[in-house]
Amino acid sequence: MTAPAIAVRGLRKSFGGLKVVEGLDLTVAEGEICGFLGANGSGKTTTIRMLCGLLKPDGGEGHCLGCDIIAEPHAIRRQVGYMTQRFSLYEDLTVFENLDFVARVYEMPNRRAAVKAILERMELSNRRDQLAGQLSGGWKQRLALAACVLHQPKLLLLDEPTAGVDAKARREFWDLIHDMAVDGLTTLVSTHYMDEAERCKRIVYLARGRIVVQGGAAAVVANAGLAAFEGVGDDVDRVAVALRHTPGVEAAAVFGRALRVASLDREALRRAIGTRGGGLVWEEVEPRLDDVFIHMLTVQEKGG
């Protein structure tokens, strides 16, 4: 087994007294696609920024691609592709000019060929001379991804790369990430989308700057020990309101004509459905990843 791409222990960071990351241990194996999940403000962006040297950790230690994260941030930057949450390429440069700039900054020897190859791979060739600012959201993300893989990094750090992008563009974006994983690229990607989390080999769930749970999607669901029921009927909205405030129900969410409820306590959930779930046709279903995360968010809010 080769050394992990990321291996950090006890990472800490606070901003003006607010502890954003508190003792985070994270290991990501080479070639792995690791999904980084958690509520807003749970420390995902801060962790990613510390890993690529944009923020100096208050404490902790570890290695990223074999380089010490405290002592060698410059060495790490050369080998990492970092895609920011907000589009951060130059909107007043064209697609080609942006990529050419990146290639020059990284002093790539075969610059022209590399830019041409990435334009083709990302299907950006037709938009080569378009100003980056005029691209739609999906194409901007694609350009940003092209820019951060151009210098052939060994590790990709993607911070909510698909926020605000339509479903098709998201799927294509993930196809690209999987293609690159085949070539041995390690990826740490933060997201709020459950379908994206399910496409990761491993997911890491963050809450209050700490890892709460990690593992494969199926294992995370199984280990949560959650029970879920689905009721179908016309009156789902009213029943949802009633159930949400019933003891034993941790989450109740409406999907069209269906209402999903979940809880750790299967019997309590059954009782709740029995008393307040009238009018719907109920059956027990397999819990899904989003049930698990909603559950964890609820636990967190209650101060667990």
Catalog residues that contact other proteins under the rule CB under 8 A: 49, 52-56, 73-74, 77-78, 80, 82, 84, 86-91, 102, 105-106, 147
- DSSP class of residue 106 equals T
Least CB distance from residue 105 to other proteins, whole Å? 5
Question: Looking at beta carbons only, is 107 or 129 nearer to other proteins?
Answer: 107
Least CB distance from residue 53 to other proteins, whole Å? 7
Interacting residues of 25 by C-beta distance below 8 A, sequence separation 6+: 8, 9, 10, 11, 211
Least CB distance from residue 160 to other proteins, whole Å? 13
Rounded (10°) CA dihedral 97, 99, 105, 106: -160
Question: Looking at beta carbons only, is 54 or 213 nearer to other proteins?
Answer: 54
Cα distance between residue 16 and residue 32, in whole Å? 34
Least CB distance from residue 288 to other proteins, whole Å? 34
Least CB distance from residue 56 to other proteins, whole Å? 6
Question: Looking at beta carbons only, is 91 or 120 nearer to other proteins?
Answer: 91
Question: Looking at beta carbons only, is 91 or 237 nearer to other proteins?
Answer: 91
Cα distance between residue 72 and residue 269, in whole Å? 52
Interacting residues of 301 by C-beta distance below 8 A, sequence separation 6+: none
Q: Quick check: helix, strand or coil at residue 213?
A: strand
Question: Looking at beta carbons only, is 148 or 228 nearer to other proteins?
Answer: 148
Cα distance between residue 96 and residue 207, in whole Å? 39
Q: What angle do CA 147, 149, 153 make, to 5 degrees?
A: 135
Least CB distance from residue 120 to other proteins, whole Å? 23
Cα distance between residue 16 and residue 147, in whole Å? 33
Q: CA dist 93 to 102, 131, 265, Å?
A: 12, 5, 56
Question: Looking at beta carbons only, is 42 or 98 nearer to other proteins?
Answer: 98
Question: Looking at beta carbons only, is 85 or 130 nearer to other proteins?
Answer: 85
Cα distance between residue 177 and residue 259, in whole Å? 34
Least CB distance from residue 248 to other proteins, whole Å? 44
Report residue 266: phi and psi, to 5°: -60, -40
Q: How far apart are the first and last CA of the chain?
A: 37
Least CB distance from residue 79 to other proteins, whole Å? 10
Question: Looking at beta carbons only, is 132 or 249 nearer to other proteins?
Answer: 132
